[in-house]
Chains A and B, each alone.
Chain A
Amino acid sequence: MRISTNMIYGKGVATLQNQTAELLRTQQQVSTGRRILTPADDPIASARALELGQSQAVNQQFGRNIAYADDNLKILEGKLVGVGDILQYSRERAVQAGNGSMTATDLGYLATDLKSQFEALFGLANSRDGQGDYIFSGFKANTKPFEGGLSGVQYQGDEGGRTIQVSASRFMPVSLPGADVFDRSRIVDVNALRTPSDDKPTTNDALYSFKGNNNTGTASALQVSFDPATVDPATDLGKRYQLQYSQPDPLVDGTWSVIMSVPGGEAVPVAASPNPPSPATPTSLTFNGITVQLPADAPPVSDADATPLGDGDAFEVFVASTKMFDNYALFVSALDDQGAVGAAGGVAFALENLDFALENVLKVRAQIGSQMVETEQLQNLGADLDLQYSQAISRLEDVDYAEALSRLVQQQSYLQAAQQSFLRITGLSLFNFLS
């Protein structure tokens, strides 16, 4: 075909420009380290890299969230360890108090010790985190969760639990309402019934009945049950009662009196029904939602005979509460204000309920512990994922230096060849030979 001079120049220049453009592009790739200079170079890879970048950023955000969750859980764990320690110490003191050789003064010293342990427990329940928010008040972080003292503790917080999103589908709880730890330390079901036995003469697990140390009568501990008609779980739990029989004249039926201990204060008399329990000797007394079966007294057959009930005989009734503080306060009052019954009943009550409380704390700690294990696993998983994302993005976006550099050298030589051949071809002209 016929070649025009313009074609020779035109094609040569176009080739040179193309080669230069290619060379420049390779140089850009090498100097920026990216294979994709604009999305048009590889639109699918660009979009995919954007998505992977987002996933990686979300993953990193979850990693930060996991660290927050871990911090919160560690704080909780620390507080709960403190609570458990106090409860354990208290249990040891309870065992010590059960030693028969302890005098009233010694028990008084123990009571003082336990009062300060109560304050420590109270302080732990009201502890704050580094920002001044109360840890155990649920959502009401500016409200002190527990108010009161030995005479009664009320929970002022709510039952909310904060969660933190630690993965796309997992929202991990990182706080506990104080009620779960301190107010639900044991189950009290006022409607449950069991058969009373000799060493547990009550019809409900939450009721405890003991006889006094210095009783002269032969009657064993009184049988106690909840009165379904009048019992109110909101006000009737967490109480300690002493029932005393006074019979100045062994031949005349005696009278019963009921007092209720007030931890940290004086015991107060309780009006019982039937009221007054004299002159006729009632068979049972009902007060504050519980019913106590009274043993019948028999006159002595002889002087040396022991009657079921003697003058001054005292019996103790504990009504356990779901709240740890209430039960603890009852124990302290049993040591402090032993009354006629002595401290043995209080010790037995304390041992069982401290065990319940410890179990509850351990249960919560176990849950937190397993969550901490989960955060560690999530962190490892997140680190792995981050690496995978980085690799995937690098595979899509980054230039393969070996390939790019060899391509650079190749294109350089192509460009040189194009330039030299252009010079040669354009130098050929018939006019060079015309004189």
Chain B
Amino acid sequence: MAGMLNIGLTGLNAAQMQLNTASHNIANAATPGYSRQTVVQSTNDPLFTGVGFFGQGTRIDTVKRQYSEYLQNNVLSADNRRAEYAVYDAQISQINNLLADATAGLSPALQNFFAGVQEVAANPNSVPARQSLLSAGQSFVARFQAMDTRLSEIRAGVESQIASSVESINGLANQIAELNQRIVIAQAAGPNVPANDLLDQRDAVVTELNKLVKTSTVIESNGQMSVFVGSGQALVLGQNVNRLGVVSTPDDVERSGVAMIAPNGVAITLPENLLTGGELGGLLAFRRETLDSTRDQMNRIARQFAEVFNDQHRKGVTLEGALGSDFFRLDMVTAESGDPALAPAVSIANDNLLTNDRYRVTYDSAAAGGYVLTRISDGAAVAPADVGLEIEVPAGAVNGSTYLVVPLRHAARNISVALVEPRDVAVGNPVSVSAPLSNGGTGKVDGISIASVDALATSYPHFASFGMRFDAASNALVLDAGPFAIEPSPASFNPATDSSGKTFTITRGGEPVFTFEFSGTPADAARFEFKPTELGVADNRNAVALGALQTSKTMLVDGAGNDTATFQSAYSQIVAQAGSKGREVRAGMQVQETLLRQATDARDSLSGVNLDEEAANLLRYQQAYQAAGRIMSIAQRLFDEIVSIGR
């Protein structure tokens, strides 16, 4: 009887605990990160009697949570990648919307500007047309600035999100350390008493952490979890936390990097390629791949546009007859310790190689070219050709003077229109040709195109007129004696074969000044005189050349040194790149979402609560409880029987 009573009691207790656990499961069915708990029941040690072992009922060994670390890790890595793609997708769609907007993108501004140029080409003498070109230039640079502002806003958003992710990581790391401490205390009772709920909580925190950055975890023998990020840097070691912090990168105040702060306060910057996955990895990858690239390409267009347009503009003459000055202002060189008047002449040789870095030119007469070029961010010496620049040191350079060269950074922000006076728009061409009426034959000089204005004076007259005659005896064009020479030398022109046109170059001191095309069949001694254009207010040759820049290839030099893209195609390339990356990221996100769902399903099929199953358990253990209770009442009746015998 006593045995039966005890046995019934054990059954009752066991059924009660099963019912408790089933209720616990039902109550926590919707708790995030909860793993279903089951009770492990086993038989009590049997009693040995002379005739065999008699069972002594049941006991509860432990409450086990249905948890598989393998399945959980699958879910974590899928979620980590999904979070990375999701944040990348959210950021890149901002860029896509900015770039491809039909009215707010760069294309309409570009087209309007060149429409203004063509207007001036059609009405070169009209001051209102020139004024409207200046206004179109203002709105063009304003568009650059607006896009740069928007990109800066996106960048600021990314930087602040990086900072807040780092804050969240630190907070979650602290929580893990605290839970580690409580788990150690709770599990001090022994290895078979896992603190299930605390473990679930810690796993939930790790899941949240994994959404932010890719981590790897190790459970130590005392139940504490250590968390590692990157290539093995410890974020949480037992109950000690190493904080992450945000530091600014050298030479770029706006850009922040992530550093691990050691206990003694020293911040060690983590390289970006170690922080992958999660929101932090996604933000860093977005910034590194898309944001930086888009910003650099926009800056490249701004820089190259200013260079090319200014170059052509300087080859023209204004309404006053002076050589044109810069149309756009976009300084590349600032004086640091040197004299601004002795600044080096820096031009873009290969726009494809330009980077966002800043450089320093130090004059050194012992070095090749008379200068040393160093990159400021790492102090390394670079060759100008490697970074797409061409540098010339002026005469009278002082050793040790330093100048800053910033080819690309902030170009779209800083570009502005330098001209104020509409009369200063350089629409004409400084060189004109005239032929006396007595010329026989049909020889004609056409298509004068300026190669360089270095040899010409700034104001009228830009050079002394010189003549050229056609010599039928040698079938060549001969220049009058003077500082100018013609190339190729001798300038042979055979009217029989070359009458459709042949190009010649006029040089001074070996440097080309301008080229022209000679066509027709000239008579012997036909003369042509090259003179500076005088009062040429209706001369639109330079405006036509400026207008032709819209459709000619001026950007993205290839390996052979040829330009491969117009301004519009270079912009379209930016749009296409951002669009493709956005598509790739979106597809990746959808794939990861599917993978996450599959991994979650696999985990839930082990760890998730099924209410129907729990309801069935409730019924089952209710009956078990009733049956055990019935055992005890029967044991009591048996005892009453025995006692009534003695009465």
Contacts and interface: CB of A to CB of B under 8 A. Distances in A.
Nearest to A68: B122
Contacts of B97: 38
Contacts of A189: 438, 440, 523
Given A163-B544, A430-B616, A39 B575 contact: yes
A50 B115 contact: no
Nearest to A45: B579
Contact of B582 (A2, A7, A43): A43
Interface stretch (B213-221, B366-374, B596-604): B596-604
Interface in A29-60: 38-44, 46-47, 50-51, 53-54, 57-58
B93 interface: yes
A301 interface: no
Interface residues of A, number: 64
A131 B126 contact: yes
A220 to B, nearest CB: 30
Contacts of B534: 140, 158
A183 interface: yes
Interface residues on B, range: 35 or more
B9 interface: no
A229 interface: no
B547 interface: yes
A144 to B, nearest CB: 11
B387 interface: no
Contact of B547 (A5, A57, A165): A165
A10 interface: yes
Interface stretch (B74-82, B256-264, B408-416, B607-615): B607-615
Contact of B537 (A2, A53, A140): A140
A101 interface: no
B432 interface: yes
Contacts of B586: 40
Given A5-B611, A139-B428, A143-B535, A162 B126 contact: no
B610 A3 contact: yes
Given A40-B583, A47-B579, A50-B568, A171 B544 contact: yes
Nearest to A7: B604
Given A140-B535, A429-B612, A159 B605 contact: no
Contacts of A40: 92-93, 96, 579, 582-583, 585-586
A10 B579 CA distance: 32
B435 A159 contact: yes
Contacts of B605: 1-4, 7
A322 B601 CA distance: 99
B291 to A, nearest CB: 15
Contact of A429 (B540, B578, B611): B611
A234 B582 contact: no
Interface string B66-92: 000000000000000000000000001
Nearest to B586: A40
B551 A58 contact: yes
Interface in A158-215: 158-160, 162-165, 168, 171, 175, 179, 183-184, 187-191
B572 interface: yes
B551 A5 contact: no
A138 B537 CA distance: 9
Contacts of B571: 50
Most chain A CB within a 10 A radius of its CB, from B100, B105, B616:
B100
Interface in A221-265: 233-234
A99 interface: no
A159 B538 contact: no
Nearest to A397: B102
A11 interface: yes
Interface string A60-100: 01001100100000000000000000000000000000000
B539 interface: yes
Given A7-B604, A162-B540, A50 B616 contact: no
Contact of B538 (A39, A65, A160, A323): A160
A149 B345 CA distance: 55
B123 interface: yes
A133 interface: yes
Contacts of A233: 436-438
A300 B538 CA distance: 68
A54 B611 contact: no
Interface string B150-165: 0000000000000000
A386 to B, nearest CB: 14
Contacts of B123: 131
Given A51-B568, A164-B121, A189-B440, A430 B433 contact: no
B205 interface: no
Nearest to B579: A43
A6 B605 CA distance: 10
B437 A184 contact: yes
Nearest to B569: A51
A61 B114 contact: yes
A193 to B, nearest CB: 13
Nearest to B100: A39
Interface string B609-630: 1111001101100000000000
Interface in A255-281: none
Nearest to B122: A68
Interface in A317-350: 322-323
Contacts of B121: 65, 164-165
Contacts of A38: 93, 96-97, 100, 579, 582
Given A50-B572, A179-B437, A164 B125 contact: no
Most chain B CB within a 10 A radius of its CB, from A64, A158, A322:
A158
A380 interface: no
B474 interface: no
B96 A142 contact: no
A323 B102 CA distance: 57
Interface of B: 29-30, 36, 92-93, 96-97, 99-100, 102, 105, 107, 110-111, 114-115, 118, 121-126, 428, 432-438, 440, 523, 533-541, 544, 547-548, 550-551, 568-569, 571-573, 575-576, 578-580, 582-583, 585-586, 597, 600-601, 604-612, 615-616, 618-619
12 contacts: A6-B604, A38-B579, A40-B585, A44-B579, A51-B568, A139-B533, A160-B533, A163-B541, A165-B118, A165-B544, A165-B548, A234-B438
Closest 10 CB pairs of A and B: A4-B608, A43-B579, A40-B582, A39-B579, A139-B536, A47-B576, A141-B538, A233-B438, A139-B539, A430-B615
Given A159-B434, A160-B536, 15 more contacts: A5-B611, A7-B601, A42-B579, A43-B583, A47-B579, A51-B572, A57-B107, A58-B114, A61-B111, A142-B535, A158-B434, A183-B437, A233-B436, A429-B611, A431-B615
